[in-house]
Structure 1
Amino acid sequence: MSVVSAPPSVPGDADQPGASSAEPSERSGINRRAVLRTGAVAAGVTSAGIAISPASATPAPRSAAVFAHGVASGDPLPDGVILWTRVTPTAASTPGSGRGPDVVVTWEIARDGTFARTVASGSVHASVDADHTVKVDVAGLEPDTSYVYRFRVASGPTTGATSPTGHTRTAPAAGADVRRVRFGVVSCANWEAGYFGAYRHLRAHRDLTAIVHLGDYFYEYETGGYGGKSGVVRRTEPANETVTLRDYRIRHAHYKTDVDLAELHRLLPWICTWDDHESSNDAWKGGAENHSAGEGPWAARKAASERAYYEWMPVRPEATGTGRHLYRRLRFGRLLELSMLDLRTYRDQQVSATSSDVDDPRRTITGQAQMRWLTNGLTSSPTRWQIIGNPVMIAPVLIPPLDARNTAAVTELLGLPGGGVPYNADQWDGYTADRRRLLDAIRDHRVDNVVFITGDIHSSWACDIPVDAARYPAAGSVATELVVPSVTSANIDDILGVPEHSVGAAVPTAIMAANRHVRWNDFDAHGYGVLTVTPAAAQMDWYFLVDKADPRTSSYHARSFRVPSGTPRVGSVAGPAD
């Protein structure tokens, strides 16, 4: 099977988002990443790869205005893919305006750039109710096949306007013997903090299967609200914080005017999930740190952010009896399944890192239904590799790791977490019972080759995920985690206003000394990762930008870590997989 659905949610289940709003403890845009403040594709096709034609249609000036937000594809299946665009039928029909006529848009998908071999086509309405966005779930395609696609306006004042030509590719058949899958992996792209050079440089990597975005596709803050006005390289729209449906639509649209982002969407399918900034900082099921009572009910704001996300992103939400959800699983032959998580919609509210409440078995980061879906999928999967698209870190990072058996008297007396104080309780470290449920399922069912790929923390990590952090390596590990840096969002050097790898260079040594399962980390650089999965190994190659404030910045290969098949340990390798 290509996509595994979750069981239906039960009405009244604890997984359902609450309607109450939370008063924030502080309004700083970077408070939850306190550790950062304190210092504590050219030609050629391989299996599951993309062939990019050197020539693509360039729209006429009028068409460029009508399709100003580009085209995109996503969530590839063996027989289908999501196609997306947005139409501006009149000059007044700007994103979020609620103005302009509904228009008919035709679409076609073909095997060649001339569209002489069209394999599927149809028409759909671009309605004002959906902010004139268009999303088509194309079926009936061939597996592991490259396609081109385009849209054309078929009614209204802009009839005949044609979109740029997009490129996409279907996933391999479920039983296919796939030799390699390559994902570009990104997270945390703050428009105001710099230019999206990471997206531009990803286009240079050959044979990428898809781009995996692990969350924080955009940031909800007002101009200068995240990291201060001194960190504003370019201004976002709207200038105010995104709270209403109109705000979220405008912010999504603004991001898709970035040339590097739009071009990467045009050339490759994306597989995306959200973290918190697509709604509001430190979101949980009943509120968010960056949401106050004066901004209205949290349920209304969350619903607005979700509606805009589903309108503007090339994602295929899973349907249940009570609605839809974003967590989903895509399969790439017999090689791997990619499980994309939603760790914001169903979680309980964050607690203090020094509180024993982080160990409360009643608290959840996934929600019950998503945890069942995740563990059932991992323990029954027929593929060699289990890759988990994980918005926040799961590897424990503790100060210091404690042996719960020998230190229980002290931790209970002081009311501290049993395994040690986490440096960031917004991560899985703040929900240790859920982490234990998941890791126990992996270990008890002897699931091999589980690799978490993670974003959120604006830094790069390669970690083993230990059975017991205090007794690592003797107690062993059950999985691995590879964390990519932010595209632009602030790191230690940005926050302190110091040169890269100066003050921040001391942090990795201290963390790795206390947490021996952390094999490498970097707290200063921005960039992206390229994950290459073969039957023999999964390897993440980290690429860093020289200067995110330079729209033409260069990049360089920084580090590579490899996970051999059958061994839940990461090891450094000299060069990238390609």
Structure 2
Amino acid sequence: MTSRHPSSPRRRTVVRAAAASAAAAPVLATATTTSAAPAHPAGPPAFLHGVASGDPLPDGVLLWTRVTPEPGAEPGSGRGAATPVHWEVAEDREFARISASGTAVASAASDHTVKADVRGLRPATAYYFRFTAGDDHTAGDATTGVVSPVGRTRTAPAADAAAPGIRFGVVSCANWEAGWFSAYRHLAARPDLDAVLHLGDYLYEYGTGQYPTQGTALREHLPAHEILSLTDYRTRHGNYKTDADLQALHAAHPVIAIWDDHEFANNAWSGGAQNHTPDTEGAWEQRVAAAKRAYFEWMPVRASTEGTVYRRLRFGRLADLHLLDLRSFRSQQASIGSGRVDDPERTVTGRAQLDWLKAGLAASGAAWQLVGTSVMISPVAFGALPAHLLEPLAGLLGLPKEGLAVNVDQWDGYTDDRRELIAHLRDRSIADTVFLTGDVHMAWANDVPTRAATYPLSPSAATEFVVTSVTSDNLDDILRVAPRTVSLVAAAAVRAANRHVKWVDMDAHGYGVLDVTAERAQMDYYVLSDRTAKDATSAWARSYRTRRGTQRVERADRPVR
């Protein structure tokens, strides 16, 4: 990849309890369609999977696209010639003021995906970007080649800047077969976001109709079978990126993403997964290597040198964003009732990552510590739930249907790591830490107590905002009942048994908008009218905030915007 600048450039990533590494550096990949191969004319290259940006820095951003160089060169096919692709970043939509440009090559080795890690931009600035493929595009003349859609991105504030505020869209858990991605459309339409934080389960690995129940697919996966190979994962990523609402989201905002389990297989851990059978599906190491390679090809994410997604982004002196990988290094989930959830030899983070997180929290001079975690850190006991609700909640969490007390796939299954991290926050007087979480297809607002059994007499060490799913099933979907009927009983029981849980919504699909200022961090929760309707509307549901220095959440009476 080459990069060139103009002669005088402008300086410038509980519903289931409640109703290795392939490439260390990013590799480039491809995609398919909704349920059939994308149609395009023979001849010139085509940009069928949109454009994207991610991981904003004060001086740069990561750009992404995928080129279909010729008919039949579908994601995972290995077909198609290597194609030079020119990229441009400008301060205006007309590209009259080019800030940076360069050329990369889309080849079958990267599934014809392209990434450009652009630097030399100005902090806290909106930019436009595009790609060109075809004759003479390397000359920088976008009129002579095939031009991609135009994307908009934004750099982060300077590291030492007193940023007045930041605002993130927050999403997780998008099952292609369960509904339309209207949440993405509504976030794409908001011009006020600095970035969108995707907390995992960007895609699902199952075959058509397998999850959550047989025969309920609104639209079918590609490939139709459960994905296992590099070709399969590339094809599934490509299929997702044919969705118009997902393309709109990526074109409108930089996306900061981490993975959870379904980017690999359900309830994944370092040596396997609940949804992986070595005897019939091959070695786990090969499957996870394929999944990671496809992920880094298809996502606007910078990989660490270990081929993982834990990393840190800074947003001026206002906030550090610590992003975790809670699948690559964790011990196998404990069996319910085994008594092993407290075993200090078991880990959800891995030793190196936990040390990295603790060091980053202690060294940060930012006002807020935001921690992107794919599974809930707040302790939650479900033993008080009525028996008829334990079974569907266990099914939602992928856990045994008898004896459910805690969700062992969350930090509840790895209590020694949580104890160590909370003790670190307390002992180092690290205040204003906010965990941002997905995974459970429900919305929560929690205090994170130092000792749940004696809360609120014992203090809260942090707070946690959990967003619901974009489409994946929650309690009313599993039970096939009207929203706010059975779930009200379950939510009341959860709150009664867990006094640090201030709110839980087990029914809605939607997204969050996190607004952070020097005085408070507030999550506004938005819900969709119907996940199965392409034109679903969005409405504000609730807001919770934590004020600086309190380590507790409280209800806010209106959204920030």
- Could you state the TM-score of these two structures normalised by the residue count of structure 2? 0.87
- Please name the residue that 2:293 is paired with: 307
Aligned to 2:334, the other structure's residue is in SS state coil
- Do the aligned partners of 1:422 and 1:429 also contact (CA within 8 Å) in 2? no
Shift of residue 263 of structure 1? 0.5
How many angstroms apart in 2 are the aligned matches of 1:231 and 1:505? 25
Aligned pair partner of 1:107 in 73, 77, 87: 87
- Please name the residue that 2:255 is paired with: 270
Aligned pair partner of 1:226 in 211, 217, 221: 211
How many angstroms apart in 2 are the aligned matches of 1:84 and 1:231? 33
Shift of residue 116 of structure 1? 1.1
- Do the aligned partners of 2:45 and 2:70 also contact (CA within 8 Å) in 1? no
- Please name the residue that 1:120 is paired with: 100
Shift of residue 156 of structure 1? 10
Aligned length: 504
Aligned pair partner of 1:483 in 436, 459, 466: 466
Q: Deviations over 1:289-336 (max 9, x none)?
A: 0000110000000000000000000001122xxx33210000000000
- Please name the residue that 2:238 is paired with: 253
- Please name the residue that 1:136 is paired with: 116
Aligned pair partner of 1:451 in 434, 450, 454: 434
Aligned to 1:318, the other structure's residue is in SS state coil
Shift of residue 389 of structure 1? 0.5
Q: Deviations over 1:469-494 (max 9, x none)?
A: 11000011100000000000001111
**What aligned pairs does 1:19-30 form with structure 2 within 5 A after superposition?**
none
Structure 1 residue identity aligned to 2:281: E
- Please name the residue that 1:414 is paired with: none
**What aligned pairs does 1:283-362 form with structure 2 within 5 A after superposition?**
283-293=268-278, 294-319=280-305, 323-362=306-345
How many angstroms apart in 2 are the aligned matches of 1:205 and 1:116? 25
How many angstroms apart in 1 are the aligned matches of 2:241 and 2:63? 15
Aligned pair partner of 2:196 in 190, 203, 211: 211
Aligned to 2:209, the other structure's residue is in SS state coil
- Please name the residue that 1:406 is paired with: none
Q: Which has the larger displacement, 147-156 or 522-531? A: 147-156
- Please name the residue that 1:504 is paired with: 487
Shift of residue 242 of structure 1? 0.7
Aligned pair partner of 1:472 in 440, 455, 475: 455
- Do the aligned partners of 2:437 and 2:464 also contact (CA within 8 Å) in 1? yes
Structure 2 residue identity aligned to 1:296: G
- Do the aligned partners of 1:393 and 1:455 also contact (CA within 8 Å) in 2? yes
Change (3 A) 1:205 1:116: closer
- Please name the residue that 1:241 is paired with: 226
Structure 2 residue identity aligned to 1:264: L
How many angstroms apart in 1 are the aligned matches of 2:101 and 2:522? 38
- Do the aligned partners of 2:471 and 2:531 also contact (CA within 8 Å) in 1? yes
Aligned to 1:199, the other structure's residue is in SS state helix
- Please name the residue that 1:189 is paired with: 174
**What aligned pairs does 1:402-421 form with structure 2 within 5 A after superposition?**
none
How many angstroms apart in 2 are the aligned matches of 1:421 and 1:358? 13
How many angstroms apart in 1 are the aligned matches of 2:70 and 2:419? 54
- Do the aligned partners of 1:89 and 1:156 also contact (CA within 8 Å) in 2? no
- Do the aligned partners of 2:18 and 2:490 also contact (CA within 8 Å) in 1? no
Where structure 2 has 5 or more consecutive residues not aligned to the other structure, the ranges are 1-13, 20-39, 139-143, 385-402
How many angstroms apart in 2 are the aligned matches of 1:268 and 1:508? 34
Shift of residue 399 of structure 1? 4.3
- Could you state the TM-score of these two structures normalised by the residue count of structure 1? 0.85
How many angstroms apart in 1 are the aligned matches of 2:200 and 2:451? 28
How many angstroms apart in 1 are the aligned matches of 2:180 and 2:382? 35
Shift of residue 229 of structure 1? 3.1
Aligned pair partner of 2:158 in 173, 181, 201: 173
Instruction: Say whether 1:366 aligns with 2:352.
Output: no
Structure 1 residue identity aligned to 2:232: D
Change (3 A) 1:291 1:156: farther
Shift of residue 203 of structure 1? 2.5
- Do the aligned partners of 2:16 and 2:440 also contact (CA within 8 Å) in 1? no
How many angstroms apart in 1 are the aligned matches of 2:212 and 2:312? 34
Aligned to 2:412, the other structure's residue is in SS state helix
- Do the aligned partners of 1:486 and 1:526 also contact (CA within 8 Å) in 2? yes
Q: Deviations over 1:347-384 (max 9, x none)?
A: 00001232210000010000011001100000110100
Shift of residue 154 of structure 1? 4.0
- Do the aligned partners of 2:45 and 2:134 also contact (CA within 8 Å) in 1? no
Shift of residue 64 of structure 1? 10
- Please name the residue that 1:52 is paired with: none
Shift of residue 577 of structure 1? 1.2
Q: Deviations over 1:95-138 (max 9, x none)?
A: 10001100111111111111111111111110110000000100
- Do the aligned partners of 2:44 and 2:70 also contact (CA within 8 Å) in 1? no
Where structure 1 has 5 or more consecutive residues not aligned to the other structure, the ranges are 1-31, 38-59, 402-419
Q: Root-mean-square deviation (CA), in Å?
A: 1.9
- Do the aligned partners of 2:162 and 2:318 also contact (CA within 8 Å) in 1? yes
Aligned pair partner of 1:395 in 378, 400, 406: 378
How many angstroms apart in 2 are the aligned matches of 1:138 and 1:62? 32
How many angstroms apart in 2 are the aligned matches of 1:64 and 1:393? 47
- Do the aligned partners of 1:200 and 1:260 also contact (CA within 8 Å) in 2? yes
- Do the aligned partners of 1:69 and 1:257 also contact (CA within 8 Å) in 2? yes
Aligned to 1:438, the other structure's residue is in SS state helix
- Please name the residue that 1:35 is paired with: 17
How many angstroms apart in 2 are the aligned matches of 1:156 and 1:454? 46
**What aligned pairs does 1:138-177 form with structure 2 within 5 A after superposition?**
138-154=118-134, 160-177=145-162
How many angstroms apart in 1 are the aligned matches of 2:129 and 2:548? 37
Shift of residue 61 of structure 1? 8.1
Aligned pair partner of 1:88 in 53, 68, 79: 68
How many angstroms apart in 2 are the aligned matches of 1:229 and 1:360? 37
Structure 1 residue identity aligned to 2:536: T
Change (3 A) 1:504 1:141: same
Instruction: Say whether 1:385 aligns with 2:365.
Output: no
